Chain A
Amino acid sequence: MKFTNRKKIFRLILEKIPTVFWILLLMVIYFSVSSSNFLTLGNAINLSRQGAILLTLCLGVVVVKITGGMDLSNGAVMSLCGMIMAWALVNLNVPVYLAILISIIMGIILGTLNGFFVSILGIPSFIATLGTQGIAVGLSLGMNNGNVIAGLPKVFYEIGNGSILGIPCPLWISLLVFALTNLILTQTPLGVYIYALGGNEEALKLSGKPAWIYKILAYSYSGLTAGIAACILTSRNMAAQPTVGSGMEFEAFAGVVLGGSFIAGKGTAIGAVLGALFILVLRNGLNLLGIPTYLQLAIFGTVLINAIVLSTLVERWVQKMRDEERE
């Protein structure tokens, strides 16, 4: 009896804490030992300023991923939002808060467009968001003939580079987004419906709910986080660059999958954060160790695949233990 109880606790630990957490822990230990610069306050602050962007994106993607979709457009949407915001700040002299609002609304519009394609037109999310990515890349390149928009007002600098209570502003922002995502997913009916979309869409329809609206909202939310991330990014660079977000969509997607959202209907906000942290720490650690870029990319790919394989194996193992318990 005692033995089976211990086994159950073991199973619950494996089940409730994403595997990526343990890998992350190992990585932190390894980098701390092998580089004296890794476990320092300076590096932590640097990491959180850079990382807030990916963190914010991941928190949007996880919502889409839970419904069973993917979002390949958020990197490009983020670039476009940044370009529009910078353009408005420089050419229209709009106040900063209005520029932020413009960026966020632009993100929501593009996200909703994705949702419209997927939910109403029934286009697979991969294709739909790839299309939106193309549109967003094209528009942001066209806005200033492919050039950077610089010369932003001084006040704007604070968003990406300031601190409140010693904690960098970008981290505050991503913490807020985390709190919001977690609240929606765990404490509201909307959250239940998001999970229902991924778990059994038919069940949601049969209980008389307009499933299509919730699906659109999931994509809108991913757009919203891209708009927020754009504010941090643009402020950190004090310039908007039309291709700055390219590739970020894949990192965000990988982070979300690593964080436990392997299949539709699964995933959590905390998992998304852990997945994003995994990618950030790996990047940062390899940098600090002074590994050349080409090698960094190869190592990054290898570790990523191994982490996902390991997570999937643990997932299956847990499933098996659960089956045994039932018998």
Chain B
Amino acid sequence: MDRIGTFPDEILTHILSFVPTTQAIATSILSKRWIHLWRHVPLLHFSDTRLKNLADNYRFNEFVYKIILSREAAGNHSINGFFLDIEYFYPKLAFCPSNPNITNWVDYAVECNVQHLDLYLDVLRNVDKHRNRKFPKLPFSVFNCRTLVSLKLHWFHVKECFSFDFVGFPSLKVLHLKEIYFDEYEEFILLLAGCPVLEDLDVFDVNFGGLETLLEFDNVFKSSSLSNLTTAYIRGCCCDFWLKALSNLKFLNIDFLKAMFMWWNGVLNN
């Protein structure tokens, strides 16, 4: 006889934490016991969200709020992971109706001490997206989230001055930044320097408004910082990089201006 069906709720919600939230909700139909299980899943996972037009956008926003309220009403105030993956049919949708709502959700996740934050925004027709070089604004609250263990961002604008409040990510191990626009190069460096236990860095197509910096890298990066960094991909990123920060790497893949350099296991260590 199958024993999984007779498992305690915690085990079943654990399994449900590996499926997108929509599918977890769909399990309500399995039996009476399952109606409420999805509300106790400790993460929110919205994958493959495709928004064609404003109506879609409003529906999705409403849907997310409904889910948050429904979990709250069931007494679930914990969010270990918040994963959002949205493809817009045209760039404009990512701004007005969407961005303020994403900010609300991220603020909420940060209040719940989220550990894994994965925000992936994109536009179906990439041509439009790149014509204006305009990026949706990253919610500032991200930088106050000291519980973060992994942070993955795609297509965001990091406005200047976030570093005024930034006290660092003491537990951050994974940092992936793709198609990100920083107003100030300096702040990108301060962000990296604020991740003392970082193990995995992936930087792709990161651009900067201003490249000037008065920072002395040797002062910013204390001798201990980034000493755990073992994997780094750095591609499409035109800036100085502090090589000492990469001294403990086991794997490095740098691709500057389409030229490919690869160092495998330990070459850099020696």
Partners in one complex: no
A interface with B by C-beta (< 8 Å) = none
